Amino acid sequence: MQTQLFEQGLKLVVEALRSIEQQGDLRADVQLLRRIEQLRKPAPPQAFFSNPGQEITSVISEAIEEVNCETHQRRSRFNSEKWENLRLTVEACKKCPHLAASRHSVVFGVGNPQADLMFVGEAPGADEDMQGEPFVGRAGELLTKIIHTMGFRRSDVFIANVLKCRPDVPAGVSGNRQPTAEEMETCLPYLREQIEFIQPKVMVALGGVAMRGLFGKTEPMKQMRGRWYTFGSIPVMATYHPSYLLRNQATSEKRKVWEDMLQVLERLGLAISEKQRNYFMTR
């Protein structure tokens, strides 16, 4: 009976918080939801609670209070009007005349502007330029799979680039080119403002160009990936760009990127399942 009460109480907490999150009136913290759900798996509750009914009530109250506190803190630091003004400023930018003349759209970024996790790439490609959203091509599809495997949706995180415009290429030339150091330096203040608004707990730098844009790093990516850096006060994990995995599809390379993402999950304080830990393990 005690076990049944414990299970029912925790189920109510999870369902209530998910309902709040879906309604959009309150942002239920992903980490909190996962922690509450995990409470349903350990040893029988008799080992923890002498009075299950009273303790369940306490768990519910503390959980909702924590969500309310988290939401208040996020709302107090986030100003949607200023965020929209930043978007409009970026979309009207013509600091790089050659890029402004050749672009179809400015790619501001996409996702949750109050996310705990932020991904930063180098610059929009042709697909992104046409659709006005970062990482929508083949590399974007792979990044989305990685995000889902981590236990998030694209809408849970924020995805941006160092450069907001597609680097121009000569007429009739296909493909993309890397942004220059000058172009990234000109555009970096916009990314800094985004980061200041979002205040993510962790960032992921996707590829060597993103690392050059953020930190001025010029070392080979194989030397930087898997290591932590700090942008202001925010920890940044360096990893390969998804396009690298499209060119190098060896399981060993996929495993390297996944190991980096496991470090990210650990830094966020999120539980990692056995299935997640064993992805891309060689047989």
Q: Strand pairing partners for 110?
A: 159
Q: What are the CB-based long-range contacts (under 8 Å, 24+) for 23-31? A: 26/67, 26/68, 26/71, 27/70, 27/71, 27/74, 27/114, 28/67, 29/66, 29/67, 29/70, 30/116, 30/151, 30/152, 30/156, 30/270, 31/116, 31/268, 31/269, 31/270
Contacts with 281 (C-beta within 8 Å, 6 or more apart), sequence order: 255
Question: Is the per-residue pLDDT at 91 higher than 50?
Answer: yes
- Is the pLDDT reported for residue 139 higher than 80? yes
- Tell me the pLDDT tens digit for each residue of 224-241: 999 999 999 999 999 999
Q: Tell which phi-psi region holds residue 109, choosing left (phi > 0), alpha (psi between -120 and 50) or beta.
A: left
pLDDT in the model for residue 102 = 94
**85-277 belongs to which CATH class?**
alpha beta
pLDDT digits (tens, 9 = 90+) for 148-161: 999 999 999 999 99
81 contacts: CB under 8 Å, gap ≥ 6: none
Exposure string for 83-115, b = 16+ CB within 10 A, e = fewer: beebbeebeebeebeebeebbebbbbbbbbbbb
Report the interhelical angle of 2-23 vs 30-38 (nearest 10°). 170
User: pLDDT band for position 28 (50/70/90)?
Assistant: very low
Residue 282 CB partners (closer than 8 Å, separation 6+):
251, 252, 255
Mean pLDDT, all residues of the chain: 83
For the chain, domain boundaries = 2-77, 85-277
Q: For residue range 32-68, what is the model confidence (pLDDT) as tens digits?
A: 555 555 554 444 444 333 444 555 555 555 655 655 5
